[in-house]
Amino acid sequence: MARIVMKFGGTSVADLDRIRNVAGRVKREVDAGHEVAVVVSAMAGATNQLVAWCQSLSALHDAREYDTVVATGEQVTSGLLAIALQDIGVEARSWQGWQIPIETDGAHGRARIDAIEGAELLRRMRELRQVAVVTGFQGLGPDHRVTTLGRGGSDTSAVALAAALKAERCDIYTDVEGVFTTDPRIVAKARKLDRIAYEEMLELASVGAKVLQTRSVELAMKEKVRVQVRSSFSDAPGTLVVDEDEIVEKEMVAGIAYSRDEAKITLRRVPDRPGVAAAVFGPLAAAGINVDMIVQNLAADGTTDITFTVGKADLPRTEATLKEIRQAIGYGEIAADRDVAKLSVVGVGMRSHAGVASTMFRTLAERGINIQVISTSEIKVSVLIGAEYTELAVRALHSAYGLDGA
């Protein structure tokens, strides 16, 4: 008998039949004698719709009210799954973030979990054999208002709950059979990985592989939660996220990820003097805007162009912030480009092998794809390209690094 956390993503609870399917899977674990807590996402598409409503009313909407709106998707699925479980004879109760509570910081829209009070859930699991069906993605802020954890945040809810309940396993059920060498929806030859190192998964997630939210991997690594990614539509074994030394054969490149969630901003004719980068990026940081890639080019006339990327969702606030500091800095103009994609290759093998970056540049050059910005870290190389080349580039790189499966 084990204690397990099962998390089901949006496609797994997209309609009533799928919720029944999920209930059946939960029942199997309960019948096997396990103590089970379930974390659910909103139905597929529901969160997108809620976000779009907020944005349509106001591009610069209040983050507290955004959370009030977008947290509702998970409330629906938690109640529905509890009903479906009760209907097949499984003792179950739904829980929203504030009821447990799942305490977070006050960063509305991208809150971090501080603490989860698991005692009552544990008591019910033990004494009543009751399944806890917990809303993913949401928590309770210090202002006593509902918070949300950022897109894809239910993964983090699940890992945090597994840590709080000291669960033996945290199974992340999704619409693919595990973590692949790249997005299997784009590359048919992508291969499923039996195991992936925390560091690699962390890096892949942070550069756009949507299969796990970055913070969930961070937390799993820190709290030593055993995470498995698997399909809610098959019984095939999934992918285990493990310590690097549990992986025998280390590939140079573990995977390739892409993100269309970033926008490129160029500030033209910025005066080239000490303190100017601080004057640009300080106010953006103060506004809570995450800047990713940065390049600066020097012109001959004492000005520079500064190019950087931010999340597309942050673009309106970024432009507003930059306009506020225009007088003080005295730059020429702002140009924003939303039609960009970031491609990244990731692998711990890069620590000991040279040539990963040059293979990437050559492969893209052979396809006539222009590289706009480059950034690297110990186990990752990223480039920014035109969004229209995303699929072509991912497929070409997947072959170039020898990742294609049968």
Q: Which positions lie near ligand ADP, rule CB under 6 A?
A: 9-12, 41, 152, 174-176, 179-180, 182-185, 209-211, 255
Nearer to ligand ASP by Cβ, of 95 and 401: the residue is: 95
| Partner touching 238 among ligand ASP, ligand ADP, Mg ion, none, CB below 5 to 8 Å by kind | none
Q: Which does 182 bind (CB under 5 to 8 A by kind): Mg ion, ligand ASP, ligand ADP, none?
A: ligand ADP
From CA 4, how far away is CA 159, in angstroms rounded?
Answer: 11
Asked if 67 contacts 108 with a C-beta cutoff of 8 angstroms, the reply is yes
Between 138 and 307, name the residue whose CB sits nearer to Mg ion: 138
Q: Which is nearer to ligand ADP, 260 or 317 (CB)?
A: 260
Residue closest to 378 by CA, chosen among 406, 398, 349 = 349
The minimum distance between CB 75 and ligand ASP, in angstroms, equals: 11
Torsion angle in degrees (nearest 10) through CA of 363, 369, 371, 376: -30
Closest CA to 267 of 300, 309, 207: 309
Question: Which partner in Mg ion, ligand ASP, ligand ADP, none is near 311 (CB below 5 to 8 A by kind)?
Answer: none
The residues binding ligand ASP (CB under 6 A) are 9-10, 41-42, 47, 73, 136-137, 151-155
136 or 238: whose CB is closer to ligand ASP?
136
Tell me whether strands 92-95 and 35-40 are parallel, antiparallel or unpaired.
Answer: unpaired
Is-contact 85 124, C-beta < 8 A?
no
At position 47, the amino acid (one-letter code) is T
For residue 9, the minimal CB distance to Mg ion (Å) is 5
Task: Report the C-alpha gap between 155 and 226 in whole angstroms.
Answer: 13
Give least dist CB 43 to ligand ASP, A: 9
Q: Which is nearer to ligand ASP, 101 or 150 (CB)?
A: 150
Could you tell me which residues come within 8 angstroms of residue 324 by beta carbon, excluding any fewer than 6 positions away? 283
Q: How far is the CB of 138 from ligand ASP (least distance, A)?
A: 9
Cβ 212 to Mg ion shortest distance, Å: 7
Could you tell me the strand order of the sheet in which 333-337 lies?
Answer: 291-298, 303-311, 262-271, 333-337
Q: Which is nearer to ligand ASP, 22 or 369 (CB)?
A: 22
